[in-house]
Amino acid sequence: MKQLFLHDGKKSIILKTSLELFASKGYHAISVRDIAKAAGVSEAALYKHFKGKEDMALYIFSAIISEYTKKLELIDAEDHEAVNKLCRIVELTYDLYQEYPNEIRFALLSQYFLWDMVEEEIKPHFIIRKIINEGMDRGEIPRQEVYLWITIYTGIMLQPLAQYPYFHDVLPDFHILKTKISSSVRKLFS
Q: Are 123 and 102 in contact (CB under 8 A)?
A: no
The sign one gets for the Cα dihedral 75, 91, 85, 107 is: negative
In this prediction, residue 10 carries a pLDDT of 83
DSSP character at residue 143: -
pLDDT digits 0-9 by tens, 149-190: 999 999 999 999 988 888 878 888 889 999 999 999 999 998
pLDDT range class, residue 8, cuts 50, 70, 90: low
HSE-up of 90 (CA within 13 Å, CB side)? 27
pLDDT digits 0-9 by tens, 87-108: 999 999 999 999 999 899 899 9
**How many CB atoms sit inside 10 A of residue 185's CB?**
20
Residues 6 or more apart whose CB falls under 8 angstroms from that of 10 comprise 39, 41, 45, 48, 49
pLDDT digits 0-9 by tens, 26-74: 889 999 999 999 999 999 989 999 999 999 999 999 999 999 999 999 9
The CATH architecture assigned to 53-188 reads Orthogonal Bundle (1.10)
DSSP character at residue 173: P
HSE-up of 121 (CA within 13 Å, CB side)? 0
Q: How far apart are CA 70 and CA 89, in angstroms?
A: 12
Mean pLDDT of 132-154: 96
In this prediction, residue 3 carries a pLDDT of 55
Mean pLDDT, all residues of the chain: 91
In this prediction, residue 166 carries a pLDDT of 83
What residue ranges do the domains of the chain occupy? 53-188
Closest CA to 175 of 164, 185, 159, 190: 164
Which amino acid appears at position 63 of this protein? A
pLDDT range class, residue 6, cuts 50, 70, 90: low
